[in-house]
Chains A and B, each alone.
Chain A
Amino acid sequence: MVGTTSLYLLRGGQGRPCLVLHDIEGHEGWLAFHAALAEQAAVYAPSHPGYGHTPCPDWLSSVQHQAVFYQWFLEAANLTDVDLIGVGLGGWIAAEMAVFSTARLRHLILVGAAGLQPQQGDLYDIFLAPWREVLTRGFADAAAAAEFVRLYGADGSGIAQFGGVREAGRTMTMRLCFRPYLHDPALPGLLGKVHLPTLLVWGREDHIVPLECAWQYQHALPDARVQILDQCGHFAHLEHPDRLAHTIREFIAA
Chain B
Amino acid sequence: MTDYYYFTEQPYTAYDPALQDQYPSLRLTLPNSLFDPQIASDLYNRYHDEYQVADGVGFDGIMINEHHTAPFCMQASITITGAVLAKITKQVKILMLGAPLPIVDNPLRLCEELAMIDCISRGRLIAGVVRGGGVESLANNVNPAYNRERFEEAHDLLIAAWTRPGPFRWAGKHFAYRVVNPWVLPLQKPHPPIMVPGTASPETVIWAATHQYPYVVLGSSLEQTAELIDLYRETAATAGYTMGPQHIGYLIRVFVADSEAKAQAEGRNFFWQNGALSKQPREWMAPPGYASIDFAGIRRLRAVSKPFDSQAYQEAQANYQVVVGTPDQVTDKLRTIRDRLGSGHLCLWAHDGYMSHADTVRCIELLGREVLPALRADAVPAVAEQVALGAD
Q: Which residues of A contact B (CB under 8 A)?
A: 127-131, 161-162, 167, 170-175, 178-179
Q: In chain A, what residue has the closest Cβ to B284?
A: A128
Interface window among B75-83, B91-99, B139-147: B139-147
Q: How far is the CA of A41 from the CA of B330 in the complex (A)?
A: 76
Q: Which B238-287 residues have C-beta < 8 A from chain A?
A: 281-284, 286-287
Q: Which of B144, B145, B146, B288 is A162 in contact with, Cβ under 8 Å? A: B288
- Min CB distance, A160 to chain B, in Å? 11
B366 at the interface (CB under 8 A from A): no
Q: Which chain A positions have C-beta within 8 A of B138?
A: 127-128
Q: Give the distance in Å from the alpha carbon of A130 to the alpha carbon of B285 in the complex.
A: 12
- Beta-carbon contact of B289 and A174 below 8 Å: yes
A175 near B282: Cβ-Cβ < 8 Å: no
Decide if B282 touches A171 in the complex (CB within 8 Å): no
Contacts A128-B28, A131-B283 given: A178-B145 contact, CB under 8 Å? yes
- Contacts between the two chains (Cβ within 8 Å), count: 42
Q: How far is the CB of A69 from chain B (nearest CB, A)?
A: 19
> A175 near B283 (CB under 8 angstroms)?
no
State A172–B287 Cα separation when bound (angstroms): 12
* Residue in contact with B144 in the complex, picked from A130, A161, A172, A174, CB distance below 8 Å: A174
The answer to whether A175 and B146 touch across the interface, beta carbons within 8 angstroms, is yes
| Contact (Cβ within 8 A) A179 B284 | no
With contacts A127-B138, A127-B287, A128-B28 taken as known, whether A175 is within 8 angstroms of B281 at the C-beta atoms is no
A130: nearest chain-B partner, CB-CB: B283
A173 B141 Cβ-Cβ under 8 A: no
**Complex CA distance for A130 and B287, rounded to whole angstroms:** 10
- For the complex, give the distance between the alpha carbons of A130 and B289 in Å: 14
B301 to chain A, nearest CB (A): 19
Bound complex: CA A161 to CA B286 (Å): 12
Q: Which of A130, A161, A171 contacts B145 (CB 8 A)?
A: A171
With A174-B145, A175-B143, A178-B145 given, is the CB distance from A127 to B283 under 8 Å? yes
A125 — nearest CB in chain B belongs to which residue?
B138
Q: Which residue of B lies closest to A131 (CB)?
A: B283
A175 touches B145 (CB 8 A): yes
* Alpha-carbon distance A161/B145, docked complex (angstroms): 17
Nearest A residue to B289 by beta-carbon distance? Answer: A171
From B141, B142, B286, B289, A175 is in contact (CB under 8 Å) with B289
A-B contact pairs, 7 of them (CB 8 A): A128-B138, A129-B283, A130-B282, A130-B283, A170-B289, A171-B289, A175-B143
Q: Which residues from B are CB-within-8-Å of A130?
A: 281-283
CA–CA, A167 to B293, complex, Å? 13
Give Cα A175 to B282, complex, Å: 18
**Nearest CB of B to A181, in Å:** 9
What is the bound-complex CA distance between A211 and B196, given in angstroms? 47
- Asked, given contacts A127-B283, A162-B282, whether A179 binds B141 with beta carbons under 8 Å apart, the answer is yes
Docked pose: A94 CA to B285 CA in angstroms: 32
Distance in angstroms from A62 CB to nearest chain B CB is 12
